[in-house]
């Protein structure tokens, strides 16, 4: 089988693990391919994907299995990583703690997948440590490998490095605090060089981070040491005692730095005192590794897990289709893009693993759709064409809704598509339940035109965009959890009230979804299987539509009474309307009277190609300077670095004026110097829901660096909607 190993890191433990797994996979007639992002996964077209890092979600239409080896804190202190975890199709681990955690998580999400036994271990080795010679010459060197990403126990390693016959390996920048004679240098991540050092030195040290230790989660060190018959000296961990018993030596990692060094040195003396026992222990540890934990076994375990998972799915889907096989109407608006995008959307319907479909094409502009109408598509019973020329967004959508004939229905715009298991994930769990009040939805994935950074390293064109309702505080927060193509609903929810066209130019899909939630409670799939593409040229930005505020007011007014979503708590509806009305951009808090009357606008917006926004943020309209920014939760983390447009003329003095609304948390707005290492100006702003502004005087344009939006001084979520950035200038 062809297996993709998804890993964004460079020069990390996962890279060493991949090198070993690739060697092992070749030995058992499988192919392991390293991928750093979703583009590379699509390029290699694997049978399945092993996800090695919680920083990456499932973003491709191939089975993704998380190889889970990180402590629970990783997922329970970071929403994004928890959502990534839930997006996987299955899970592999060798940790008892994580197996229980994964079973509980999946039970809560309404899923019962197998938990496979697999870990990123090393391959079987032809190398063998000559322990007899090393022991006889008292030449054992305590050997430790680490990238030291978390700077753990620095004082201890400094003390250990001062001891006799100790070698510590890893990136040089990670070990500058230890004695130079103890530093062994960097080692190639080739699946063999690490083991060669253990062979040469005879004894390896296995230590863990505090969180790994607390959660009884092992690292790869013990496997690399045991694979070549070296002596393993390990922190006392229940997992190691369960699987390796007395084949290794144990120490208490919770000791203070000096006591820990002494305990390890004492173990070495114990080894020298009874070399025969040490050789026997190392031999047993290698046997345990080779029969249970070698990468060759782990790769086969992953393959068997994939085969069993596919078989389980096939049985489940077959039973669901026997119990219920409803006709699903899919409304696709088309006419804004070339025919190949419509073909991609229809193809994603035909590739569904569950259901039968009718497709309703609503053509709002001239488009030759004969390539779609003129062929047979799997699972699609019929395709109908409805023309709705000249109407606004809601006119074309409601024209399609009025043609729905299936028991269930869904939306899919021409530039979007579904993963093949989208409807399976949404409907199979409810195949034995009535479908007359169903509203099921998935998370969504966005495709951008420009790659954005992945947490920890690398970049990707795709990102997990929505993943369930995060807040029931308002119509806006509920609607923001839905992409227009993420749900399936019962036709019975299309009541005569819902089928009344609201006459909206934008936000019509949000209005529709919220209207449906007045009739049914949303059920989340805990998967991200709908994709919306924002990489195409010429795509409209409906958030900037001239009638956007009027459309939002229409939405709020039409949903203020009995049409209000059932999932929202009761509120003072008038107060919400009044607050919305007060935020309309008629008045700006900048007192432009402070600028002389002869100052004028000389620049507007920012250079998008040279600017940066973090994951979860987006450019809205670079020409005016608008963007939606959600900085990372870490203190002082940058959410955006914008290169402002240069002024159209020179002046003695300039003023940068930014208008924005902080909707969550506390943010900082400032301007860096040219070097980017200090702020020329910075000020904090707190969320108050109102339009705010800042005015920054600039006397030396050459000193002006990037315009920055950042989180403030404490961890927490923040959000700011940047409305505009303009530069004013006085007379020349």
> With respect to CATH, is domain 2-116 assigned 3.30.160?
no
Task: Give me the pLDDT at residue 597, please.
Answer: 63
Cβ burial, residue 365 (10 Å; 0-12/13-18/19+): middle
- Rounded CA separation 415/529 (Å): 15
- Is the pLDDT higher at 674 or at 341? 341
User: Is residue 650 predicted with pLDDT exceeding 90?
Assistant: no
What average pLDDT is seen over the chain?
91
| Sheet-wide strand order for 666-672 | 606-613, 638-644, 707-711, 666-672, 679-686
pLDDT digits (tens, 9 = 90+) for 595-613: 666 678 889 999 999 999 9
- Paired residues of 76 in beta bridges: none
pTM of the model: 0.79
Q: Where in the chain is the domain with CATH 2.60.120.200?
A: 592-729
Q: Where in the chain is the domain with CATH 3.40.50.2000?
A: 131-289
Task: Transcribe 129-157 into DSSP letters.
Answer: --HHHHHHTT--EEEEE---TT-TTHHHH
CATH homologous superfamily, domain 324-441+471-532+540-579: Spore Coat Polysaccharide Biosynthesis Protein SpsA; Chain A (3.90.550.10)
Torsion angle, alpha carbons of 490, 492, 493, 496, to 10: 150
Task: Give me the pLDDT at residue 587, please.
Answer: 34
Give yes or no for a contact between 524 and 469, defined as CB atoms under 8 angstroms apart: yes
User: Is residue 42 predicted with pLDDT exceeding 60?
Assistant: yes
Overall CATH class of domain 131-289:
alpha beta
Task: Give me the pLDDT at residue 14, please.
Answer: 80
Task: Return the residue matching tokens 């060669």.
Answer: 196
Task: Give me the pLDDT at residue 730, please.
Answer: 77
User: Is residue 240 predicted with pLDDT exceeding 60?
Assistant: yes
User: Is residue 309 predicted with pLDDT exceeding 90?
Assistant: yes
Q: What percent of the chain is modeled with pLDDT above 70?
A: 96
Q: Where in the chain is the domain with CATH 3.90.550.10?
A: 324-441+471-532+540-579
User: Is residue 459 predicted with pLDDT exceeding 80?
Assistant: yes
Task: Return the residue matching tokens 């086969």.
Answer: 300
Q: What percent of the chain is modeled with pLDDT above 90?
A: 71
pLDDT digits (tens, 9 = 90+) for 242-278: 999 999 999 999 999 999 999 999 999 999 999 999 9
Do strands 48-51 and 2-6 pair parallel, antiparallel, or not at all (unpaired)? parallel
Give yes or no for a contact between 109 and 103, defined as CB atoms under 8 angstroms apart: no
CATH of 592-729, one of 2.60.40.10, 1.10.3720.10, 3.40.718.10, 2.60.120.200: 2.60.120.200
Task: Give me the pLDDT at residue 413, please.
Answer: 93
Q: pLDDT-derived band of residue 488, with 50, 70 and 90 as boundaries?
A: very high
- Paired residues of 606 in beta bridges: 644
Evaluate the CA torsion angle 35, 36, 42, 43 in order and state its sign: negative
């Amino acid at each position: 089988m062809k297996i993709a190993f998804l890993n964004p890191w460079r020069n990390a433990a996962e890279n060493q693990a991949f090198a070993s797994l690739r060697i092992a996979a070749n030995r058992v007639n499988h192919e392991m391919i390293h991928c750093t992002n979703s583009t590379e996964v699509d390029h290699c077209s694997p049978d399945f994907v092993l996800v090695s890092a919680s920083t990456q979600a499932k973003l491709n239409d191939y089975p993704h299995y998380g190889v889970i080896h990180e402590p629970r804190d990783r997922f329970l202190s970071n929403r994004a990583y928890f959502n990534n975890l839930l997006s996987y199709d299955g899970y592999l681990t060798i940790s008892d703690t994580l197996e229980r955690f994964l079973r509980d998580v999946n039970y809560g999400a309404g899923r019962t997948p197998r938990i496979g036994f697999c870990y990123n271990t090393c391959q079987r080795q032809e190398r063998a440590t000559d322990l007899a010679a090393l022991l006889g010459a008292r030449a054992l060197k305590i050997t430790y490998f680490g990238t030291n990403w978390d700077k753990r126990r620095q004082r201890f390693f400094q003390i250990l490095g001062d001891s006799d016959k100790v070698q510590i390996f890893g990136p040089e920048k990670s070990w500058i605090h230890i004695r130079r004679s103890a530093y062994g240098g960097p080692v190639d991540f080739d699946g063999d060089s690490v083991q060669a050092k253990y062979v040469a030195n005879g004894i390896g040290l296995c230590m863990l981070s505090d969180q790994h230790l607390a959660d009884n989660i092992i690292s790869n060190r013990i496997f690399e040491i045991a694979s070549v018959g070296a002596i393993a000296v390990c922190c006392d961990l229940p997992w190691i005692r369960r699987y390796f018993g007395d084949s290794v030596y144990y120490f208490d990692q919770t000791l203070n730095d000096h006591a820990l060094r002494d305990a390890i040195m004492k173990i070495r003396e114990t080894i020298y005192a009874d070399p025969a026992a040490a050789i026997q222990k190392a031999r047993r540890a290698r046997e345990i590794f080779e029969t249970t934990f070698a990468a060759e076994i782990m790769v086969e375990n992953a393959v068997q897990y994939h085969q069993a998972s596919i078989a389980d799915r096939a049985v489940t889907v077959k039973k669901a289709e026997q119990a219920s096989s409803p006709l699903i109407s899919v409304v696709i608006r088309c006419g804004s893009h070339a025919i190949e995008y419509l073909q991609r959307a229809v193809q994603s319907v035909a590739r569904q693993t569950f259901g039968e479909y009718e497709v309703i094409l609503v053509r709002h502009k001239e488009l030759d759709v004969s390539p779609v109408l003129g062929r047979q598509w799997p699972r699609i019973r019929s395709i109908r064409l409805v023309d709705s020329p000249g109407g606004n967004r809601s006119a074309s959508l409601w024209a399609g809704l009025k043609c729905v004939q299936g028991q269930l229905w869904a939306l899919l715009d021409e530039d979007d598509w579904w993963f093949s298991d989208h409807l399976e994930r949404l409907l199979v769990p409810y195949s034995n339940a009535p479908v007359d009040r169903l509203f099921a939805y998935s998370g969504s994935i966005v495709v951008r035109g420009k790659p954005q950074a992945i947490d920890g390293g690398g970049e990707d064109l795709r990102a997990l965009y929505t993943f369930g309702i995060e807040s029931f505080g308002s119509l806006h927060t509920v609607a923001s959890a839905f992409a227009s193509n993420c749900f399936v609903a019962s036709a019975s929810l299309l009541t005569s009230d819902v089928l009344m066209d609201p006459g909206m130019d934008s936000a019509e899909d949000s209005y529709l979804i919220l209207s449906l939630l007045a009739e049914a409670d949303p059920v989340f799939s805990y998967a991200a299987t709908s994709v919306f593409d924002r990489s195409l040229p010429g795509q409209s930005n409906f958030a900037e539509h001239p009638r956007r505020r009027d459309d939002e007011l229409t939405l709020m007014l039409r949903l203020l009474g009995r049409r209000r979503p059932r999932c929202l708590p009761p509120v003072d509806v008038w107060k919400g309307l009044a607050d919305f009305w007060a935020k309309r951009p008629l008045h700006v808090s900048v007192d432009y009277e402070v600028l002389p009357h002869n100052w004028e606008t000389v620049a507007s917006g920012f250079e998008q190609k040279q600017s940066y926004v973090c994951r979860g943020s987006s450019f809205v309209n670079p020409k005016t300077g608008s963007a939606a920014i959600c900085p990372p939760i870490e203190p002082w983390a940058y959410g955006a670095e914008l290169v402002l447009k240069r002024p159209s003329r020179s002046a003695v003095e300039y003023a940068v004026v930014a208008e924005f609304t902080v909707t969550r948390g506390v943010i900082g707005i400032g301007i860096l110097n040219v070097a980017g290492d200090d702020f020329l100006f910075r000020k904090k702003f707190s969320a108050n829901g109102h339009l705010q502004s800042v005015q920054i005087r600039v006397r030396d344009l050459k000193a002006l660096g990037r315009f920055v939006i950042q989180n403030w001084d404490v961890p927490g979520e923040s959000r700011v909607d940047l409305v505009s950035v303009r530069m004013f200038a006085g007379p020349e």
